[in-house]
């Protein structure tokens, strides 16, 4: 399969959408830091420091949930927004 101009345009559109989402997430992250009253260095030191097992477990669960949600959004965007579990009518069937 050859790489066409249409493929390049599609990829460029996907990259632009990802860049836009990253900019929004960066702004949201900055607002969260400001609201919490942390600098990025203070947050990094707190995260890298020794945490109780309950906090580590909760953080791992949150990170994994965020990864799954992000992957699902990316997959939905790439597939044109169609949900994988969407019901489709039987092909060739008539609805009355």
Q: Provide the domain count of the chain.
A: 1
Largest CA distance in the chain: 64
Whether 42 maps to a domain, the answer reads no
Q: At a CB cut-off of 8 Å and minimum separation 6, what does 18 contact?
A: 74
Q: Which structural domain, as residue segments, surrounds residue 31?
A: 1-37
Structural element, H or E, at residue 40: helix 40-48
The answer to whether residues 73 and 18 touch, using CB atoms and an 8 Å cutoff, is: no
Whether 58 maps to a domain, the answer reads no
Whether 84 maps to a domain, the answer reads no
Whether 60 maps to a domain, the answer reads no
| Whole-structure pTM value | 0.45
Whether 62 maps to a domain, the answer reads no
Whether 55 maps to a domain, the answer reads no
Q: pLDDT tens digits for the chain (96 residues)?
A: 788 899 999 999 999 999 999 999 999 999 988 898 888 888 888 778 777 788 788 888 999 999 999 888 888 877 765 555 555 556 666 565
């Amino acid at each position: 399969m050859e790489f066409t101009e249409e493929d390049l345009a599609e990829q460029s559109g996907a990259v632009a959408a990802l860049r836009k989402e990253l900019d929004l997430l960066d702004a949201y992250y900055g607002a969260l830091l400001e609201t919490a009253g942390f600098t990025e260095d203070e947050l990094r030191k707190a995260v890298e420091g020794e945490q109780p097992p309950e906090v580590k477990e909760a953080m791992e669960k949150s990170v994994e949930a965020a990864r799954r949600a992000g992957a699902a959004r990316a997959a939905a965007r790439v597939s044109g927004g169609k949900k994988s579990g969407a019901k489709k009518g039987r092909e060739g069937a008539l609805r009355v």
